[in-house]
């Protein structure tokens, strides 16, 4: 007997079960509706990519790349016709063992191949063959049998990769893409923070960096949040300059931070060297008064960046969008230039950012593509839904409309037929697979949250008139099959059924 083991979802991952999954589907469908009304189209991206894509885009010094990625070596997908190739190779058992122990048999190799290699070699081989075997092994190694792959921690890098790969700059206008799906980061799980979490993102890529693009993207985001009932939100915006003005500011910041280094914690001390801007992100209470006195980027933007930021604010005002400027909003990913933003929501504790984004002009170029401007955001679905629920704004979704309480063998064929018709009319219907006592059947209808019970007994079949019971107020009506369909359909259109 195998050991009885209780499998559980991996820490930081979870199952989204009904009825919650219906709320998730509604949330995602609303995003599709809103984004498509702004002429965005969906892109479905792979869940994993080459590790280097993320390292290069997000930056090797970021927390995401340096600590949080799920990286694995792919098993080789080249299968060598091994026994034929080894025929000429003659090596002693010891030579193979030594190569193994010295780690010269590539660890990326498919296990089956490795076992064959060793097994075969150990059988028959003499001393002189050892170098040939090792040459063979290194040839296998050079075939690059295992790529380093990573489960995507975010999707902006993938969108840029796809933009280049499919030559999307050749299409008319800007590429306006959205995506929905899971992301993976090995963070410490807590409320609103998971290792597999879900994002809905949107990106605009193309030749123009007009501030109206930034503003319209933010408008779309806030229209969506409003539509899904995410109300107590705050939009924070900032400009972090570009390659012309930011380097000088970063150096200034580094110099100022050096002066106060002793009063900072170890993380911030390390960041003085690796990425001084990230010190501004610190949440440590003792560091706050020090950070408040640091030079602010707004005083160090070049003319173009200052003009871009000022136009963005005009564009937001034009659209009646409220925002708070936050000079410390630098974001945790390296690809940003100019506009950065975040939206926070109520009811979430410390993990209260429900959306983050910004410009990343130059990222496509960094990945080997043509000069391209880009801006986008990603909404955290897990947190947004949590906040909607905590605010009591989750909608009541339709759920189960009709429970068919049938009794008697003669009623069953009619129950099957009518159930199918109701479902074809778009109603959610539950048909019990076995006959039940009337009381028990209605009790179950209640527990399942059905809005109506349709009672089909042998008498009803004989008279072709069925009893529809409204389970909320116990009101009953007798209806013919046609009237029943009509009644329930009109209820559904009025979104009551």
Where does this chain bind ligand HAM (CB under 6 A)? 154, 156, 185, 187, 192-194, 197, 199, 201, 203, 353-358, 360, 376-378, 380, 382-383
Q: Which is nearer to ligand HAM, 353 or 394 (CB)?
A: 353
**String of b and e for 362-386 (b: at least 16 CB within 10 Å)?**
bbbeebebeebbbbbbbbbbbbbbb
In b/e form, how buried is each residue of 47-82, taking b as 16+ CB within 10 angstroms? ebbebebbbbbbbeebbbbeebbeeeeeebeeebee
Which lies closer to ligand HAM via its Cβ, residue 129 or residue 357? 357
**Beta carbon nearer to ligand HAM, 196 or 298:** 196
| Element housing 82 (H / E) | helix 82-86
The H or E element spanning position 466 is strand 466-470
Q: Residue 295 CB, nearest distance to ligand HAM (Å)?
A: 25
Q: Which is nearer to ligand HAM, 156 or 238 (CB)?
A: 156
Residue linked to tokens 């280097």: 52
Q: Which residue is nearest to ligand HAM (CB)?
A: 380
Sign of CA dihedral 478, 484, 486, 492: positive
> Residue 418: enclosing H or E segment and its boundaries?
helix 412-424
What's the min distance (Å) between Cβ of 88 and ligand HAM?
52
- The least CB distance from residue 105 to ligand HAM, in Å, is 38
**Distance (Å, whole) CA 335 – CA 374:** 10
Closest distance to ligand HAM from the beta carbon of 342 (Å): 7
Q: How far is the CB of 375 from ligand HAM (least distance, A)?
A: 7
Q: For residue 252, what is the enclosing H or E element? A: helix 246-260
The strand pair at 337-345 and 353-359 is best described as antiparallel
- Which C-beta is closer to ligand HAM: that of 76 or that of 358? 358
SS3 80: coil
Rounded to the nearest whole angstrom, what is the least distance from the CB of residue 345 to ligand HAM in the complex? 9
Cα–Cα distance list, 272 to 55, 256, 302, 327 (Å)? 20, 10, 23, 18
Min dist CB 355 to ligand HAM, Å, is 5
Least distance CB 73 / ligand HAM (angstroms): 24
* Cβ 62 to ligand HAM shortest distance, Å: 9
Cβ atoms of residues 277 and 253 within 8 Å? yes
- Taking the least distance from each CB to ligand HAM, the nearer of 65 and 355 is 355
| Closer Cβ to ligand HAM, 328 or 492, answer by number | 328
Kindly tell me the burial class for residue 188, based on how many C-beta atoms sit within 10 Å of its own C-beta (0-12, 13-18, 19 or more).
Answer: exposed
Burial (Cβ within 10 Å: 0-12, 13-18, ≥19) of residue 127: exposed
Residue with Cβ nearer ligand HAM (181 or 432): 181
Nearer to ligand HAM, 108 or 234 (CB): 234
């Amino acid at each position: 007997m195998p050991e009885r083991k209780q499998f559980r979802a991996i820490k930081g991952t979870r199952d989204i079960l009904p009825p919650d999954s219906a709320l998730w589907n509604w949330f995602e469908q609303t995003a599709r509706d809103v984004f498509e009304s702004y002429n965005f189209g969906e892109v479905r991206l792979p869940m994993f990519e080459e590790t280097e894509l993320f390292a290069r885009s997000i930056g090797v010094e970021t927390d995401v790349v340096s600590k949080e990625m799920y990286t694995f070596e792919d098993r080789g997908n080249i299968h060598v016709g091994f026994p034929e190739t080894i025929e000429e190779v003659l090596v002693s058992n010891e030579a193979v063992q030594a190569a193994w122990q010295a780690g010269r048999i590539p660890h990326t190799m498919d296990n089956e191949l490795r076992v064959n290699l060793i097994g075969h070699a150990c059988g028959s081989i003499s001393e002189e063959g050892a170098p040939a075997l090792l040459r063979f092994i290194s040839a296998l190694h050079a075939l690059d049998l295992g790529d380093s792959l990573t489960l995507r921690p975010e999707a902006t890098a993938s969108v840029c990769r796809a933009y280049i790969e499919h030559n999307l700059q050749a299409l008319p206008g800007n590429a306006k893409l959205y995506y929905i799906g899971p992301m993976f980061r090995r963070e410490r799980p807590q409320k609103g923070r998971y290792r597999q979490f879900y994002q809905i993102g949107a990106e605009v890529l193309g030749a123009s960096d007009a501030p109206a693009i930034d503003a319209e993207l933010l408008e779309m985001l806030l229209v969506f949040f409003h539509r899904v009932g995410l109300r107590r939100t705050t939009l924070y915006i900032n400009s972090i300059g570009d390659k012309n003005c930011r380097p000088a500011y970063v150096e200034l910041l580094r110099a100022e931070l050096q002066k106060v280094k002793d009063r900072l914690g170890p993380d911030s001390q390390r960041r003085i060297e690796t990425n001084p801007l990230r010190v501004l992100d610190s949440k440590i209470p003792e560091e706050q008064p020090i950070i408040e006195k640091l030079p602010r980027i707004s005083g160090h933007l070049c003319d173009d960046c200052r003009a871009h930021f000022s136009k963005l604010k005009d564009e937001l005002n034009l659209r009646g969008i409220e925002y708070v400027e936050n000079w410390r909003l630098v974001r945790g990913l390296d690809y940003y230039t100019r506009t950065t933003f975040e939206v926070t929501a109520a009811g979430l504790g410390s993990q209260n950012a429900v959306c983050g984004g910004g410009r990343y002009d130059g990222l496509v170029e960094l990945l080997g593509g043509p000069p391209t401007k880009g801006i986008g955001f990603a909404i955290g679905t897990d947190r947004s839904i949590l906040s909607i629920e905590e605010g009591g704004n989750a909608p009541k979704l339709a759920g189960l409309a009709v429970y068919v309480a049938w009794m008697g063998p003669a009623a069953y064929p009619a129950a099957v037929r009518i159930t199918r018709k109701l479902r074809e009319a778009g109603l959610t219907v539950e048909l019990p697979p076995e006959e039940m006592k009337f009381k028990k059947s209605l009790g179950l209808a209640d527990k399942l949250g059905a809005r109506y019970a349709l009672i089909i007994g042998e008498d009803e079949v004989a008279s072709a008139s069925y009893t529809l019971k409204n389970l909320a107020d116990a009101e009953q009506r007798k209806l013919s099959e046609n009237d029943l369909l009509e009644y329930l359909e009109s209820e559904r259109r009025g979104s009551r059924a």
